[in-house]
Amino acid sequence: MKNVKVLGPGCSRCEATAKMVQAEADKLGLDVTVEKVTDYAAIAGFGIVSPPGIVIDGKVVHAGGLPKPEDVSRWLSA
Amino acid sequence: MTADGSLAARKPPVQTPLVWGAATVAAVAAWFVIYSQLAPFSSWLVDQLPVTPGSHLADAISFFVYDTPKVLMLLTLVVFAMGVVRSFFSAERTRAVLAGRREGLGNVAAAGLGIVTPFCSCSAVPLFVGFVSAGVPLGVTFSFLIAAPMVNEVALGLLFALVGWKVALTYLAFGLGVAIVAGWVIGRLKLEDWLEDWVRNVRANPVELPPDGLSLVDRIKAGLEAVRDIVGRVWMWIIAGIAAGAFIHGYVPQDLLATIMGRDAWWSVPAAVVLGIPMYSNAAGIIPVVEALLAKGAALGTVLAFMMSVIALSLPEMIILRKVLSLKLIAVFVGVVGAGILAVGFLFNALFS
């Protein structure tokens, strides 16, 4: 099971990113936990400067702006 | 659209970049044709209305009818171009460039990168924490945070369009100057102890993002996305701004503003700065007002000081920054930046007379 963290202080794009990750995982039939990280210190700890960021199993795959659905799908299946 | 993009990314058919490139060129050409016809079209439109030519009402209406499409079109073009440019930059890469930089040169680099790095006010706090925890000096971080909202493409593009390239370039130079000098001064004051405790304890891991691998088509799409996002968000501010501008244009008497906002009233610059702090607007909403004020005899330095103050020193942003900065540090920030804006206001009034 993959652990996906969506990093962001609760802005609308962060919400949209979290929804997109869940939707793409459902499409792929993957079992994932999507966790929202809103704490500034934790976000900075991952090295993310521009939210929303995406961390999959501890690895940062995206930062800054809304990702493209096909990219999310690619990261999830990697 | 997104499905096409992924196909194109995997198996690029030869014609796709060509089609996108050609469509972009055609759209820009169409833009210039339409833009050149705006003035005759708007005067024709105003002539059709049942108002007396030359009256206050006719003045106000023709200002509104001409400026609304003009400003929206210019904004669209500038935002598109900057959206494409910004696809080459990211806040993470900017931080890597600035980390460990000395002050001085670091302040200059930070202010310059502040113009082209994608930035929104909702990311001010993560950006601040991320920069400081990665070893970007406090003063350099401030140079970035001051330049990013103040010297942006919307402000520059609209100034260029409405009041001319000289004013736009001078604004660019002085905006960068304020960001560089204010950041340098804050750095000299050694205020690291005034950060909130938790900020100093954050240890950031340097992050290696995979290369973005964006194609030309992706970058054009990034420009379109920027237009949809920014123009979609600010268009009503602009129309409100132009309506206010139209009112000033049509109804406020010429000498009234020349007296209270003219060059001879020395106190008008500090007054404009103080007035700007509680006001919060983006550059897009304030610039039509700026143009109208100038047309009515207000001094350029006073008006620009007002504009810089509205954009760079906003109360909502300070409330957000309070999460990472102590009140003392915020006070220093406002004091230093305010002093810089004052200097710009007086200097402009002295230079452009």
Query: Closest-CA residue in chain B for A65?
Result: B118
Most confident residue range from B122-126, B158-162, B197-201, B343-347: B343-347
Q: How far is CA A21 from CA A18, B161, B219, B344, in A?
A: 5, 42, 23, 47
Do residues B288 and B242 make contact, with C-beta atoms less than 8 angstroms apart? yes
pLDDT over 50 (residue B352):
yes
Rg (CA), chain B: 22
**B114 membership: H or E segment, kind and range:** helix B105-116
B210-231: per-residue pLDDT in tens?
Answer: 666 678 888 888 889 888 887 8
B116-147 pLDDT per residue, tens: 887 766 677 888 888 888 888 889 999 998 88
Look at residue B41 and tell me whether its pLDDT is greater than 60: yes
Position B180 scores a pLDDT of 94
A52: preceding bond cis by omega (within 30 degrees): yes
Is B200 a residue whose pLDDT tops 80?
Answer: no
Question: Within an 8 Å CB–CB cutoff, is residue A69 touching chain B?
Answer: yes
Number of H helices, E strands in chain A: 3, 4
Residue A45 to residue B95, Cβ atoms within 8 A: no
Q: Which residue, among B122, B128, B205, B215, would best test binding to A if mutated, counting the most A CBs under 10 Å from its CB? A: B122
pLDDT for the residue B140 = 92
Interatomic CA distance for residues A35 and B294, integer angstroms: 52
Across B336-342, average pLDDT: 88
Q: How far apart are CA A76 and CA A63, in angstroms?
A: 15
**Higher local confidence (pLDDT), B9 or A51:** A51
CA torsion, ordered B45, B46, B51, B54, to nearest 10 deg: -160
End-to-end alpha-carbon separation of chain A, Å?
A: 13
Q: What is the pLDDT of residues A16-58, one digit of tens each?
A: 888 899 998 898 888 888 888 888 888 888 878 888 889 988 8
pLDDT (0 to 100) of residue B282: 62
| Residue B116: exposure state from Cβ atoms within 10 A (0-12, 13-18, ≥19) | middle
B208 has pLDDT over 70: no
pLDDT band at B349; cut points 50, 70, 90: confident
A-contacting residues in B 26-45 (Cβ below 8 Å):
none
pLDDT value of residue B51: 78
Q: What is the pLDDT of residue B13?
A: 53
Collapsed DSSP state (helix, strand, coil) of residue A4: strand
Letter string b/e over residues B302-320, b meaning 16 or more CB atoms within 10 A of that residue's CB = bbbbbbbbbbbbbeebbeb
- Window 19-58 of A, Cβ < 8 Å to B: 40-41, 43-51
Give the per-residue pLDDT at B15: 65
Q: How many angstroms away from the CA of A61 is the closest CA of chain B?
A: 6
Contacts of B94 in chain A (CB under 8 A): 49
Comparing CA positions, the residue from B193, B196, B155 lying closest to residue B174 is B155
Q: Is B122 on the interface with A (CB under 8 A)?
A: yes
Backbone CA torsion sign across B308, B295, B56, B251: positive
Alpha carbon distance B137, B144 (integer Å): 11
Inform me whether the pLDDT recorded for B287 exceeds 80: no
Structure tokens at B155: 């402000």
Residues of A in contact with B130 (CB under 8 A): 43-44, 47-49
The residue of chain A nearest to residue B6, with distances taken between CA atoms, is A70
What pLDDT score does B6 carry? 46
Rounded Cα gap, residues B121 and B305, in angstroms: 21
Residues 6 or more apart from A15 whose CB is under 8 A from it?
A: none
CB B137 within 8 A of CB B106: yes
Q: Which helix (H) or strand (E) holds A55?
A: strand A53-56
Contacts of A47 in chain B (CB under 8 A): 92, 130, 134, 204-207
Amino acid code (one letter) for B124: A
Are A41 and B202 within 8 A, CB to CB?
yes
In this structure, what DSSP letter does residue B22 have? H
pLDDT at B271 over 50: yes
Closest Cβ opposite residue B127 in set A41, A50, A68: A50
Architecture (CATH level 2) of domain A2-77: 3-Layer(aba) Sandwich (3.40)
B251/B294 Cα distance (integer angstroms): 14
What is the chain A residue with the closest CA to B226?
A: A65
**Structure confidence by residue, pLDDT tens digits, B44-62:** 888 888 877 778 888 888 8
Cα of first residue to Cα of last residue in chain B, in angstroms, is 52
Q: Tell me which DSSP letter residue A34 carries.
A: E
User: Is residue B292 within 8 Å of B328, Cβ to Cβ?
Assistant: no
pLDDT band at B149 (very low <50, low <70, confident <90, very high): confident
Task: Using alpha carbons, select from A60, A42, A62 the residue that is nearest to residue A52.
Answer: A62
Residues 6+ apart with CB under 8 A from B284: B75, B154, B158, B234, B237, B238, B241
Contact A7, A52 (CB under 8 A): yes
Once rounded to an integer, what is the mean pLDDT over residues B86-103? 84
Q: Which two tokens stand for residue B62?
A: 């023709």
- The tokens for B183 are 């950041």
Contact residues, B window 199-228, toward A, CB-based 8 Å cutoff: 199, 201-210
Q: How confident is the model at residue B27 (pLDDT cuts 50, 70, 90)?
A: very high
Cα–Cα distance for residue pair B51/B63, rounded to 1 Å: 14
- The pLDDT value recorded for residue B176 is 92
Q: Which of B79, B70, B58, B81 is nearest to B32 (CA)?
A: B70
> Are B193 and B269 within 8 A, CB to CB?
no
Residue B132 CB: number of other CB atoms within 10 A?
21
Mean pLDDT of B195-208: 72
CA dist., res. B261 & res. B253, Å (int): 13
Distance of residue B245 Cα from the nearest chain A Cα, in angstroms: 32
